[in-house]
Structure 1
Amino acid sequence: MSDVEVIRAGALGDVPHGFLGRRGGVSQGLHGGLNVGLGSDDDRAAVEENRRRAADAVLPGAPLVTCYQVHGADCIRVNAPFAERPHADALVTDRPGLALGILTADCAPVLLADAAAGVVGAAHAGWKGAIGGVTDATVAAMERLGAQRDRIAAAIGPCIARPSYEVNEEFRRRFEAEDPANERFFADARAGHAQFDLEAYVTHRLANAGIRRIEALGLDTYADEDRFFSYRRATHRGEPDYGRQIAIIGLG
């Protein structure tokens, strides 16, 4: 649909992909726009129509394949559409004609491709999945399908940015316990709190895994209400529910 905004990353070249926000779609009210969240309280028919529009905007005619995301690090190989969504936070495939989708509402969506090998992946990297290694698992799963990590390009789509992401000291200590160098992803805030740079941390994890071409789009879901849904923004406002946006990649 022409009113669906598709944000593309130069790093992924001609591989069919897109980071979609809330523009376009048929949902109303709190979910207004292109809400694709099956777990939201939105009208189910509206969500299904939005998912159809989203897939067609990136890979027309392809079935949309998504997982039941649990903020973990498991990655699933996709050979065909699922009869039932598996519990996982990343998908990879080497099969043309499948639109792999990852839903977010502040977490970082990561799309990956080795165009030469014909292998793509999509990962949902919230802070739990990011520190748990979801991007590492995705790269490893792509390698099992014939990708080479020195050829894999990755793009990090709209997510909550550091100025919008206040965390407590326990959160900060968890990351610094994993690696003292992780302190660089935090900036001091009000007493007992810090601002966390999720996008920079995910970029670091990808680079540390040997990915040489990484594009971070620098789009803040919390701050840009017109374009993106945000779980934290909805929470701060005391709203009862929130929409989800999607990032999609596939092979034509």
Structure 2
Amino acid sequence: MEASLQADVLDGVPHGFSTAAGREGGDILPGAPRVRLKQVHSNKALIATGPWQDPPEGDALVTDRRGVVLTIVTADCAPVLLADPIAAVIGSAHAGWRGAHAGILENTVAAMISLGARPERIRAAIGPTIAQASYEVDELFRKQFDVEDAHFFAPGREGHYQFDLPAYVAQRLRDAGVEQVQDLEEDTYTRPDRFFSYRRATHRGENTTGRQSSLIGLAA
């Protein structure tokens, strides 16, 4: 099994989405320090210049520094890696439904723009994520979204819907001006041989600590 997946849209930019076989994501820039956050399902995007001794809370990282690797972890939420190769600005975002709904992707793009990126040049890849067929939600969940978001919800069993998180994330990226978006279309829930899934582990009464790592860097 592959230890790491790459996205065509980020060709030429060191990056990787790990599978369960390579949970640390490998060395996309051998020897480079990794920058991490305390992920809390927020809309907070931080500009990083290097690793923190005590990582702050937040759910997206942006940098124009070469020789560092931005790292996020997920296990059903959408990992999003972004790059403007011309400006040499990169970003990584942890986009669960809460963060996406609250604006984490728009804030990530805004932070990249503050470092010289332009939205029409930004490329974004959505890594392994729980797919619509696997993501059942209830009426209370549905009511937190606007009328124009109805197409992200398919009818499910009585009182429930199937939510399309990857499509919602892609739309929020497009709303922020990012048109070059690739979804790897990898469902974390249905592939226990390939990915960790928090929801699947919860349903099965298994250990829920497994996570995929998603990494992106700028070569020195």
Correspondence for 2:8 among 10, 13, 17: 10
SS of corresponding position for 1:160: coil
User: Which residue number corresponds to residue 131 of structure 2?
Assistant: 161
The runs of at least 4 consecutive aligned structure 1 residues that moved more than 3 Å come to none
SS of corresponding position for 1:215: strand
Task: Output one character per residue of 1:60-110: Cα deviation in whole Å (capped at 9) or x when no partner.
Answer: 111111100000010111111111111000000000111101100000000
SS of corresponding position for 1:175: coil
Unaligned runs of 5+ in 2: none
User: Which residue number corresponds to residue 155 of structure 2?
Assistant: 188
Residues 230, 242 of structure 1: 8 Å contact kept: no
Q: Which amino acid aligns with 1:93?
A: T
CA distance in structure 1 between the aligned counterparts of 2:183 and 2:123, rounded to whole angstroms: 11
Q: TM-score, normalised by structure 1?
A: 0.85
SS of corresponding position for 1:91: strand
CA distance in structure 1 between the aligned counterparts of 2:2 and 2:52, rounded to whole angstroms: 25
Q: Please state if 1:92 is matched with 2:67.
A: no
CA distance in structure 2 between the aligned counterparts of 1:61 and 1:55, rounded to whole angstroms: 11
Q: Please state if 1:201 is matched with 2:199.
A: no
Task: Return the offset for 1:243.
Answer: 0.2
Q: Which amino acid aligns with 1:171?
A: F
CA distance in structure 1 between the aligned counterparts of 2:50 and 2:61, rounded to whole angstroms: 12
- Output aligned runs, 1:38-57, within 5 Å: 51=24, 54-56=25-27
SS of corresponding position for 2:21: coil
User: Which residue number corresponds to residue 116 of structure 1?
Assistant: 86
CA distance in structure 2 between the aligned counterparts of 1:62 and 1:168, rounded to whole angstroms: 43
CA distance in structure 1 between the aligned counterparts of 2:187 and 2:218, rounded to whole angstroms: 28
How many residue pairs end up in the alignment?
Answer: 219
User: Which residue number corresponds to residue 46 of structure 2?
Assistant: 76
Q: TM-score, normalised by structure 2?
A: 0.97
CA distance in structure 2 between the aligned counterparts of 1:6 and 1:64, rounded to whole angstroms: 17
Identity of aligned residues (%): 54
Q: Which amino acid aligns with 2:156?
A: A
SS of corresponding position for 1:246: strand
Residues 11, 215 of structure 1: 8 Å contact kept: yes
User: Which residue number corresponds to residue 19 of structure 2?
Assistant: 21
Which structure carries more helix by proportion?
A: 1
Moved more, 5-14 or 127-136: 5-14
RMSD: 1.1
Correspondence for 2:187 among 193, 200, 220: 220
Task: Return the offset for 1:55.
Answer: 4.5
